[in-house]
Amino acid sequence: MNATVRTLFPLIAVAAALAAPAAFAGPKCTDAPRDKWLPKEVMQARIVKAGYAIDKFKVSGSCYEIYGKDKAGNRVEIYYDPTNGKVVKENIDD
């Protein structure tokens, strides 16, 4: 192994380790404090009214997140801004 490779390898390994958690993190939905968020029950009712079946509802970082099904029966994972209920990110498995 030459000197350049020996020098660069540890730097690449550190960069990869630091980038890995960001690749699995959800989106940033809000900077608002939690006392400004819609109550969970209100948010869940809005989601159901929009036609989704909720299998799992959780707080994920600065978002409300659901796993469930849409009207067509497709599995969905959706991140919502908890201050206004807007969709920030949506994944659909058909």
Question: Structural domain tally of the chain?
Answer: 1
Q: How confident is the model at residue 21 (pLDDT cuts 50, 70, 90)?
A: very low
| Pairwise pLDDT comparison (23 vs 8), residue with the higher score | 8
| Pairwise pLDDT comparison (54 vs 6), residue with the higher score | 54
Residue 82 belongs to domain with CATH number: 3.10.450
Average pLDDT over residues 67-94: 95
Q: Give the β-pairing of 63-69 and 87-93.
A: unpaired
Q: Is residue 2, in this structure, part of any structural domain at all?
A: no
Q: Is residue 66, in this structure, part of any structural domain at all?
A: yes
The whole-number pLDDT of residue 94 equals 72
Q: Is residue 10, in this structure, part of any structural domain at all?
A: no
Distances in whole angstroms, Cα of residue 62 to Cα of each of 6, 58, 59, 93: 40, 11, 7, 24
- Is the pTM for the entire model greater than 0.75? no
DSSP one-letter string for 31-69: -S-GGGSPPHHHHHHHHHHTTPEEEEEEEETTEEEEEEE
